Structure 1
């Protein structure tokens, strides 16, 4: 290959790099033109794979990252994106081999990785609402959601989420810092339905009783009234500032609460809520219950429709 061809390929690569995030179609075109002049450019192959990763074009991302790693086996970023694409496509042998090449302790095999990589947080729909929820990582790039996300997020408690490799923020809990990762896609759907619950809760102690009743019955409950807060972009993608911590503190008790509950079925949940109402001696009542987000492919049954259209305690 002539020095002139190599120089032209380098110039095309630089032009494409300047366009990434603004005009990815043109950037891809320029990257491919660079490869026609010099096919052995791992950085160009990596950048093409990167664009396809963020488009969820996983087969293409896998192919270009494979080619990049073949030319530069020690390139950490290309190996990470190769493992992410392999995980997205359930190519478990290649994912495991790549993690091992990166020095991550996973066994060889063809099965999904189901281990404990610790607690972390994931930012759902990072280019839109950016809701951040807690979960536990089962592999370097998959996390099972433990919170009850808002229905508009499209995610549910128990969902297994594929996330990016680089963290984009920190949160502190119990004196420890935990990483926040951007979600890339839903990898495996939970069987749980997200129910929205509107309730009149007289005191914090009554809320504690409700959350305890839900937990005892095997449901995951979330008091959205107290747990959902808006953060500025800088705080969300870094460490939340003190002014956010102050804003998150509830100044006065709000009896009317919005909650999310993750459950397999509505009947047992309704029974739990009625029992909680009865033990409150008239201080508390459920105002409405609705099945807000069902598992993929599941249709709302007759009981869902009925309860969505009337208050919980209505005759």
Structure 2
């Protein structure tokens, strides 16, 4: 800006007095501007630099005006490019497939079976980016987040220390701890109570936040009850022992959320479906009529929502309770 000021001074400054005939009494005349400019060749360099500076500043203003409002004003250009990709594009198919193949080839003993993993991945490939709710943290947690790139993936787990550990390894992980009050050995009584209350506290369409049903999870963060979940995966809590919490509450809550929060439909997947709790509770609340696929260990249900959802009962033909009456 100093160069611009100097240029203005050169142009506007009165010309020097030029003496005539060498005497003090000689007359004076003004030098024309064109002559003055021609006598200062550096002026054009200064003018060009000033114009370039002004153009650059104007471009900056235009860029700022179109800045992504979701980013802080101090974000870099690479941050903007990353944000645009993150919020406006799904994961490219080659990247998606590579992640699935890598996870399937993992040698971890705690990982999910290849067929089940690929079944869930296929659902995410169809729905992502989406709202994805996962009951349980495990070996596949980073994979589920990655496959739902651009969407929202939320995890619910019974172990707050496990959550804290993974939050340190996976920045940005959205996970909440859940206090389950049920036990696997209580399943027959819990199902019987739920059936008696299917027109009341245990009805299929309701606001779980205010539910007194014994199977309802009503202590989650309030905002989660209003999310229209596209995909729900039940892969927790523990259910391998009589005193373990079991997945009765997770399956019931998933069934109600799928019918209540949005227009649907919602893909609900239940892992370890070969176990009694998972199979019986799924048939009771997710219903055989909504079963899309069954790999043996993983069941895939498609639950209608909105006006299509049944509001008086979960299923049209319920026979699951008879199997566990005693």
Report the TM-score, using the length of structure 1 for normalisation: 0.31
Bigger CA radius of gyration: 2
- Greater share of strand residues, 1 or 2? 1
